Amino acid sequence: MRCKYCFHEKYGYSNDLLDINKLEKYITLLCSEYDFINIIWHGGEPLLAPLSFYEEIYEFCDHFDKEFLFTVQTNGTLINQEIIDFFRKRNTNFGLSFDGLNNEYTRGNTSKILDSIGLLQENGFRPGAVLVVNKTNVSNLINEYNFYNSMGVGLKLNPMFIDGEAKMHKDDLGLNPDEYIENFTQFFKYWTLDNNGQINVATCNELVNLILNEHSGVCTFNSCLGKWLCFDSNANIYPCDRLCTPEYSLGSIDSLSSINQIFESDVFYDLLKTSVERRTKCIETCKYYKNCYAGCNANAILNKNDEYENGVSCYIHKGILERIKSYVLESTEQTEHLNPQYVKTLERAKNRRR
């Protein structure tokens, strides 16, 4: 599958499988410093790797007295009963990349993905999916939500950024930020009032948490530096999967004897310094700082030369907050006839503030 907006296109495509000995060394170094390790099998498509590869790694992780959390982020085309049985036995969750009603145009293989969703649900999984919002579906967010809600599939909305393969499809997929802001705002209010809502819409829930609790657990609204790392198929380490070009390399596993060495590198120091300076400026100049915490480091870096003052991601988030913040605050006063999922988020927010 070659998605029309794949940002990994700029890194090149390779069939190379990560050397398992190098991955084991990486896990060993992580376990020497951390008690909890969250591993997301990502790609490309992680299910192209044979199950024997994963079997060896899971058995290796069992040797450590550490807590692991595993997730497979997949396009859903290769899921079958054998794969489900294997990962369920190892307490691994599934996340999907799926563009809903417009999937056939941007990603393809829609019928197979829908079959995979059904199979996962039959086996007790409740998968969520990332939907990439672009020019072709931005005006249809409410219908997209209703489609996911009818399937019982959780939803996260990611506005498409112009990077990698998306640069080749700017004319047919390029997203107008103002259109996204307006259409997302309409969708958000629709979601809050949908008393038939049964799915988690992560994008909406995170915004509510940011407004009511000034807190978020996702890297989009935090500094992830030092918390997340990307380990590629060549055993190179990067700050995240958005910054996987040589200038952001934190080193190769071959040259490391401690995971702390990557946090002592000049590249990491420069990234951290830039992040602190940017966040300091946001604290001084933006009234919404505690509702985003200066956003995603990678977005800020990759958008720094676009036409928007602090990058398009900041422009979008600020535009949405301007339209929904007072609405959310008013919702806490009267929760009757609201989406039950929204009410749960409001109630959790209230409990955190007590």
Does 255 fall in a domain?
A: yes
- Residue 146 within any structural domain of the chain: yes
Domain that holds residue 265: 7-203+224-277
Listed in sequence order, the residues at least 6 apart from 289 whose beta carbon sits closer than 8 Å to its beta carbon are: 279, 282, 283
What number is the average pLDDT over the span 56-65? 97
Residue 295 domain flag: no
Which secondary structure element, helix H or strand E, spans residue 71, and what is its range?
strand 67-74
Mean pLDDT to the nearest integer, 249-278: 95
For residue 208, tell me if it sits in a domain: no
Give the integer Cα–Cα distance in Å for 337 and 146: 18
| 197 or 1, greater pLDDT | 197
Nearest Cα to 131, choosing from 202, 211, 194?
202
Backbone angles phi, psi at 117, to 5 degrees: -60, -45
Domain count, the chain: 1
Taking residues 77-106, report their average pLDDT. 96
Mean pLDDT to the nearest integer, 159-188: 83
Residue 53 pLDDT > 80, yes or no? yes
- Lowest-pLDDT range, 73-77, 133-137, 348-352? 348-352
State the average pLDDT over residues 293-303: 85
CA distance 320 to 269: 32
pTM of the model: 0.91
> In 3-state terms, what secondary structure has residue 5?
coil
pLDDT band at 10 (very low <50, low <70, confident <90, very high): low
pLDDT (tens digit, 9 = 90+) per residue, 213-226? 887 777 777 778 88
Tokens, residue 140: 């249809």
Asked, for residue 114, whether it belongs to a domain, the answer is yes
Query: How far apart are alpha carbons 1 and 108 in whole angstroms?
Result: 8
Residue 343 in domain: no
- Residue 66 belongs to a domain with what CATH number? 3.20.20.70
Give the burial class of 109: count Cβ atoms within 10 A of its Cβ; 0-12 exposed, 13-18 middle, 19 or more buried. middle
Report helix, strand or coil for 207: helix
Residue 316 has a pLDDT of: 94
Residue 311 domain flag: no
For residues 129 and 9, the model is more confident at 129
- 191 inside domain: yes
Q: How many residues does the chain have?
A: 354
Residue 288 pLDDT = 92
Return d(Cα 302, Cα 9) in angstroms, integer: 15
Answer whether 208's CB lies under 8 Å from 223's CB.
Answer: no
- Binned at pLDDT 50, 70 and 90, residue 72 comes out as very high
